[in-house]
Chains A and B, each alone.
Chain A
């Protein structure tokens, strides 16, 4: 896996010595430590303030747990999150997965495990963002298809005409909204030749 050494990472951990460990490893791996936070609440503040490329976060912390913080981060400031914890249970892994956590690492990690987790979380996050974008585009395409179908001149059920009212006006408004590919698909063969 290609390592992106430009990434900035926020360390969220309530144990100072563990923070020292993570910080030391990140520096060895040549990641940039964007900052430190001691609980989930502070993590949210720091993500908003520092906009790190990734967050390494403990699960058990005072005030707000890592899971709660991950949910809020994904909701308000979508950022790749790596969980670093001494607890390893299936339930916690599933809970973290549902909260949008990209990777789950057990303490103490080997440096390459930590690196792999950061890169995986970042890649998964990218994939997730792309999927989200595609989903949005798909929703938009579906909406436009319905709109175009609503302007068909003949009813597919009874064969009656649907060109009454301000049909020309609605058609014209739709043409104005079409992108170039859609517009080309709508042209008659003569016009297409002429435009091409």
Chain B
């Protein structure tokens, strides 16, 4: 058959077939009819691996069709294979004009020989005719596979990707792109990118697409679309633009989380370091700073610190930070009874973090806690216990007012670490305060002791001086009887010792007159002579006297009792001593001492003459007390002493005096 006749027949045959396989078989069969062509085949279609498939052939041995079943796309050359019989390719003819990387037809023979001239031209036409009929069979499997191959290529990209023409119309797009945009991709004609991708995404990408189209240079940019962040890469090609949107949301989140963690860790190190040296007001400022910094870092609305009383009965909000427009509550949260918040306290007692993403998550029995938080408009809260050793010191809390929030483990871990740092600082501060308090107390006690010691010294010296004075006075009134001298002197020194004892027991503070009188008069009962009975009655009074007056009054009462025992009991066997006292509005006190004995001799009452005892009483009243003494007989001997308990007004140096 002439080549031209074979060619015409082949053209007719190819024009009549309706599927790719028959078309390509017809082409291969027609090629084999050409002179010097022993074998022919067509590589067409394509696989996911980017290979062309030997789709039709004529005369090729079985080993060849098995061994060279596929070739890589874009090669357009038949591999040289040595078999039996040998196959030597003698020409390749593309099915589409001007393309060297698409489907092609080849011819071969068992000998090495080149095809040229009319045969080569006929084979070229045959191949192009086959290609033209492939295009005709638009829905044919060859073209379908080819188009599908491109789609598969884009689909192999997991990120949304699209192929645009110069008019920004979508030629192809992958499944991820369709899922992102909602574009179904069913239209056969190219669709404007704005319609396919939607107005928002088009708006985001318009600038970069235009830039790449104009410059011919690839470009990339980051855009946020929906809840995701995409790194957009646009590559130019001949008349096309490839757009790939790589979803970097996860990376961004990871980076953000890492940055956030680094920030919190830096904050923690800074806070923990600062707290090492802080004390007193600096610690308060440090805590306020820490609340602010953490509150801002975790975007909380309110941050606070509560501390417990040492018995855990009460808790108070000691520090608070509020974001702008958030109402502070610290002043209202003072001295709260912890027993009102059992759920809260139970968690803290177990050193647990209190995590409430939503108030509705709180158990029913946390009613008081919920009420408290609702009162503060809180929607979400986290609180970590502040512990030192085994002691629960307080808790550190962060609240959200405007939203419910889930708290990540890393944030909670960091907050617990901040709580530990605060706990150490607070405990150290408490201990330092306690040490300072104890030091001040010891210092104050030392000062008081020094004053007391000085006072004791003064009193002892004064008492010794008074004893010497008594000796001189006693000598002056002595009748030469040494026994009497010693008895009287002993009684008086004992009186001095009694009052010194009473005053030193009270630390030389003001003394109740009643107590003083009962001490002196009551003490005399034991000294009553044998066979004599002494009874006493001292009225109650709230009058107190300063140590100097108490001292003088004790000596006066001692002398009065001694006088009663010496003179009244000499004549009778039973004696009642009464002491009455009252104070008027002007601060003057009247102390009346009386016994129910025979009374004073007349000359004592009328002439003020008497013994040493009465002389001492008179002088002690007038000089030491600056008071008045009246001796009288009123059912017995009585002495009325009137004195002021107000200190005399100090006189200053008067230059004119």
Q: Do A and B bind each other?
A: yes
A residues whose Cβ falls under 8 Å from a Cβ of B: 14-25, 38-41, 44, 62-65, 68, 71-72, 76, 86-87, 106-108
B-side contacts of A76, CB under 8 Å: 657
Within 8 Å by CB of A23, from B472, B647, B652, lies B472
Select one of B459, B473, B624, B650 contacting A64, CB under 8 A. Answer: B650
Chain B, range 70-90, C-beta contacts under 8 Å to A: none
**Could you name 17 residue pairs across A and B whose Cβ atoms are closer than 8 Å?**
A15-B624, A16-B620, A18-B462, A18-B465, A24-B469, A24-B471, A25-B468, A38-B626, A41-B651, A63-B650, A65-B650, A68-B651, A68-B653, A72-B653, A72-B654, A108-B464, A108-B468
B492-517 vs A, CB cutoff 8 Å, 1 = contact: the mask equals 00000000000000000000000000
Check: B619 CB closer than 8 A to any chain A CB. Answer: yes
Interface residues of B (CB under 8 A from A): 454, 457-459, 461-462, 464-466, 468-473, 475-476, 552, 555, 616, 619-620, 623-624, 626, 647-654, 657
Measured between C-beta atoms, what is the minimum distance from A90 to chain B in Å? 13
The 9 closest A-B pairs by CB, nearest first: A24-B472, A20-B469, A21-B469, A17-B469, A17-B466, A86-B461, A16-B619, A108-B465, A86-B458
Decide yes or no: A68 and B623 within 8 Å by CB, A20-B472, A24-B475, A86-B461 being known contacts. no
Q: Is the CB of A21 within 8 A of B465?
A: yes
**Cα–Cα distance between A100 and B476 once the two chains are bound (Å):** 35
CB pair B464–A14 under 8 Å, yes or no, is no
Q: Which of B459, B473, B652, B654 contacts A17 (CB 8 A)?
A: B473
| Interfacial chain A residues near B652, Cβ < 8 Å | 68
Q: How far is the CA of A29 from the CA of B619 in the complex (A)?
A: 24
- Bound-complex Cα distance A79 to B354 (A): 85
Least CB distance, B488 to chain A, in whole angstroms: 14
In the complex, what distance in Å separates the CA atom of A76 from the CA atom of B651?
17
Inside 8 A of B616's CB, which chain A residues have their CB?
Answer: 16-17
**Selected contact of B461 from candidates A19, A38, A63, A108, CB within 8 Å:** A108
Residues of A within 8 A of B458 (CB): 86-87
Residues in A with CB closer than 8 Å to B623 are 14-16, 19, 38
Which residue, B461, B464, B465, B653, has most C-beta atoms of chain A within 10 A?
A: B465
Q: B619–A62 contact, CB under 8 A?
A: no
Q: Beyond the given A15-B466, A68-B651, A86-B459, could you list 9 further A-B residue pairs with CB under 8 A, ordered by the A residue number?
A: A17-B465, A17-B469, A17-B470, A20-B470, A21-B466, A44-B657, A62-B626, A76-B657, A87-B454
Q: Which residues of A contact B651 (CB under 8 A)?
A: 40-41, 63-64, 68
Q: How far is the CA of A44 from the CA of B651 in the complex (A)?
A: 12
**Residue on A with the closest CB to B464?**
A108
Q: Which chain A residues lie closer than 8 Å to B649 at the CB level?
A: 63
Chain A residue at smallest Cβ distance from B619: A16
- Nearest B residue to A28, CB-CB: B472
Q: Which of B473, B555, B650 contacts A20 (CB 8 A)?
A: B473
Q: Are A86 and B462 in contact, CB atoms less than 8 angstroms apart? A: yes
A62 engages B466 (CB within 8 Å) = no
For the complex formed, measure the closest distance between the CB of A12 and the CB atoms of chain B, giving whole angstroms: 11
Contact yes or no, B619 A71, CB < 8 A = no
Contact yes or no, B468 A24, CB < 8 A: yes
Instruction: Name the A residues within 8 Å of B653 (CB-CB).
Output: 68, 71-72
Q: Are the C-beta atoms of B469 and A62 separated by less than 8 Å? A: no
The smallest C-beta distance from B17 to any residue of chain A, in angstroms, reads 134
Question: Nearest A residue to B617 by beta-carbon distance?
Answer: A16
> B462 — which chain A residues lie within 8 A by C-beta?
15, 18, 86, 107
- With both beta carbons as reference points, the residue of chain A lying nearest to B654 in the complex is identified as A72
Chain A residue numbers with a CB within 8 Å of B624 are 14-16
Q: Chain A residues near B457 (CB, 8 Å)? A: 86
Would you give the shortest CB distance from B474 to chain A, in whole angstroms?
A: 9
For residue B648, which residues in chain A have a CB less than 8 angstroms away from its CB? 39, 62-63
User: What are the residues of chain B within 8 A of A24 when measuring CB–CB?
Assistant: 468-469, 471-473, 475-476
Q: A16-B623, A62-B647, A63-B650 are in contact. Are A21 and B657 (CB under 8 A)?
A: no
Give min CB distance, A44 to chain B, whole Å.
7
Quote the shortest CB–CB distance from B427 to chain A (angstroms). Answer: 44
